[in-house]
Chain A
């Protein structure tokens, strides 16, 4: 058995060390890593590990208690449902001119020890303001073949919500009580995207009640005439109140991208990859090569399409 085969078998059994090393492979941005990623996806397909996860996105401002909340939701989900498996991908916005970062999200929760069904991974976003990193989509493509749920946690400040909407089957916006100022909720223009809202830290009493009504009003204002307005959940990560309501919402809306939606998603992130790596000129080249859709269809997988894409800069001669 090759090294890659051993990693794949281990990861399918949810053995953490091989799984973690596979994630490392999918985070590798170098062109040289593309063939091995493509081989890994093919190997997973061959072993019947097709995409099956519901991808849930949790976004919100720093300080909303999002990290603790997401960690606890994951831990609670696997304790409620003995068949559930959950991977959490926590994207940390902190960046530094050295390129290094502090990945602090693990701080917030004590996870059960030795539990195969729960995997937590931190990832540095390469952007100052949060949102997803370059490696987020590739890693989600791996994790969605191994787990029943993939939770992606990002810091959202307004620009990255579109990406999380493309990535996730259901998007939750986590907010903290704001002392009742309706305008605060409207500021970032992030009201349109989420499927549901979570008002966290609802243990703080009167401020939380006022915020709830202000948020309700803000949603009605930002999204007028919606047949079924998005729910607002009130939670307290400290006491655990309201977490079950969120999980029930999650389970009730459990869906996964169908084949067509998945191709649209691949298309979107393929173009994003080309743009991030090679800029406008790269996109022009992509058009000349028939466009993302055609390239993906011809190649069979996202990774294979990455391998097939003829990049603007020729690879060094062998």
Chain B
């Protein structure tokens, strides 16, 4: 024993640029979790992909579900059929879930699921698989994205109204607290807000106000005791975007960390610093990835990855990178591997993980962080004054802020103020050898896999116990109506082999379906140039010649909810003098046809990003003919449409095809005006 005066063995000198462990020994950090957002075609095909990715050194799974699964339809529903397996894996019953995770021990895995409106259902299926396999459910680790606010604002896979949706989220937190202590019941997403146009300050404010909304809801429900409430706060995690302005993005992450620490301490009185940590995963930005010279995206992805890894204090817990060709189509396995290699090089070849925070003490960085925090606090205060995040969604305030930011961004690209290499500067490039492979550098879903999914669904329906199914659904409905926690009844539904559509339909009956504000009303476009004036002049001439204003129905058929493109076109069309009928997302082709017919539209603009453009366009054009309008309402199509499909779309009858390469709105509107004039037999040219 040493006396207080005895200095003892000299403490080893600590260097500010070294990392030390708890015992004072030099150490390095462990890397973040490497993930790739993946899933397609069918449960079996996705399982094979996951096993390959894990073998390649991926350390967690990030499951992409197809749109029917995300919006609560079984694969055989008419709205679902064109979308099965397109943007993710279709999951109809627990049998699909068994297949998806075959050979992957759940208790050992960290699984992130991008699932929102049906998150409770997918978690119930995951738990169901663990139970049937005899694995320890308490050890399950991972995240259900489960953030409904950004679905209303940007991503579009909501089903239920806000109150019911927030209740589902709260019940999952309450259930997980006792039963799945390592599970993140939801992930507050700022990712999609940036995709929808949010500035860094808006991203900070909207995400934090959203987290406050979730926590306030749980606190007000009173199902969690005040003593355990800090545990709930500690389970809140975030999903963040990282854009090309990587210094600012890094500052944004530091601002997030500091603001969250303040909010959890001051608003919720959380004492334990661990429960105040800002835990977050990242997918770097896909919005800025370009169709033109797509190989440049590899560099963009690298730079964006730096923004969320350089600062140790604000380093992500998990990172998933898009593939260089995302603006062209869904990525192939090789494309995903290339992105994974980037993470491995960053974590293992470089010295990144050897240092403490390298920005501490930087006056420049701190000043920028402080400015972002100040702006974010002001915006949070505004939202609070409106009555919180839910009121700000329902009134359309948040959506209109985002649509405005997006219009400003597009306007700045159009004016050349915002430089995008290969898009509005240095646009002449050599042809990319990456696109000259046999498959043209893009991925195609194998149609045979869809058939297999449908067969599997039919087989489960045929052999399950109908009485158990009916009882499970009745218990679910009863819980939904009476206010009981719906998690256990959902797990029983999973075990009884209830389908995704049956689970969601039951809750639709109880809660109803929601249609949020579109945010396009009252918006303006910040583009004014000669060419816009020219389109406007042609619109006025059209009015003089025909006696009515050119009228466009902008429609998003199918389940894909990424509405930014449709919204920008709607705002631009009005800016150019059109009357615009925009009915929001998730419409059937029949609904779009009916709108166009009843409104006597001069043109229909379809926006499709799910890969189902051929099928949906065909349905709209055939629907118009069946309704007696023949070909007198021309149809144009925009979206992520591979070059190879342009001719096919024109053969179906589409008069124009637009892709992300068509960012110049004056040009887009001018081409739409060409179509409208040609159809009406008038021309102002």
Contacts and interface: CB of A to CB of B under 8 A. Distances in A.
A103 B596 CA distance: 12
A107 B582 contact: yes
Nearest to B600: A20
Contact of A63 (B395, B583, B595, B627): B395
Contact of A104 (B161, B520, B595): B520
B431 interface: no
B591 A20 contact: no
B243 interface: no
B348 to A, nearest CB: 51
Interface string B350-382: 000000000000000000000000000000000
A228 B548 CA distance: 45
A306 B627 CA distance: 34
A99 B543 CA distance: 10
B512 interface: yes
Which one of B536, B540, B595, B600 has the greatest number of beta carbons of chain A within 10 Å?
A: B600
A3 to B, nearest CB: 13
A74 to B, nearest CB: 13
**Interface size for chain B: under 10, 10 to 19, 20 to 34, or 35 or more residues?**
35 or more
A30 B547 CA distance: 6
B135 interface: no
A100 B573 contact: yes
Given A107-B583, A113-B588, A124-B579, A27 B548 contact: yes
Contact of B577 (A15, A24, A99): A99
Nearest to B516: A107
B522 interface: yes
Contacts of B594: 16, 111, 113-114
Contact of B590 (A24, A103, A114): A114
Contacts of A102: 520-523, 570-571, 574, 580, 582
Contact of A103 (B517, B571, B579): B579
B598 interface: yes
Contact of A121 (B515, B517, B598, B629): B598
Contacts of A108: 515
A33 B548 CA distance: 11
A33 B547 contact: yes
A183 to B, nearest CB: 21
Interface string A49-67: 0000000000000010000
Interface in B577-612: 577-584, 588, 590-591, 594-595, 597-600
A96 interface: yes
A94 B547 contact: no
B576 interface: yes
B588 A17 contact: no
A202 to B, nearest CB: 15
A238 interface: yes
Nearest to A104: B521
A103 to B, nearest CB: 5
A96 B549 CA distance: 13
A16 B515 CA distance: 25
Contacts of A18: 628
A4 interface: no
A239 B584 CA distance: 21
Contacts of A99: 539-540, 543, 549, 577
Interface string A112-134: 01100001111010000000000
Contacts of A106: 581, 583, 595, 599
A121 B578 contact: no
Contacts of B536: 98
Nearest to A25: B547
A100 B523 CA distance: 12
Nearest to A99: B577
B524 interface: yes
A16 B626 CA distance: 12
Interface string B526-567: 000000000010011001000111000000000000000000
Contacts of A23: 600
Contacts of A100: 539, 549, 573-580
A279 B591 CA distance: 42
B518 interface: yes
Interface of A: 10, 15-18, 20-21, 23-25, 27-30, 32-33, 63, 94, 96, 98-104, 106-108, 110-111, 113-114, 119-122, 124, 238-239
Interface pairs A-B: 6 shortest CB-CB: A28-B547, A100-B574, A20-B600, A98-B577, A100-B577, A106-B583
Interface of B: 161, 395, 512, 515, 517-518, 520-524, 536, 539-540, 543, 547-549, 570-571, 573-584, 588, 590-591, 594-595, 597-600, 627-629
20 contacts: A17-B629, A27-B547, A29-B547, A30-B547, A33-B547, A98-B576, A98-B577, A99-B539, A100-B578, A101-B574, A102-B523, A102-B582, A103-B580, A106-B595, A106-B599, A111-B591, A113-B594, A120-B598, A121-B599, A238-B512
Given A101-B580, A108-B515, 18 more contacts: A10-B628, A17-B597, A17-B628, A17-B629, A21-B600, A24-B547, A98-B577, A100-B539, A100-B575, A100-B579, A102-B520, A102-B570, A103-B579, A104-B520, A106-B583, A113-B588, A122-B599, A124-B579
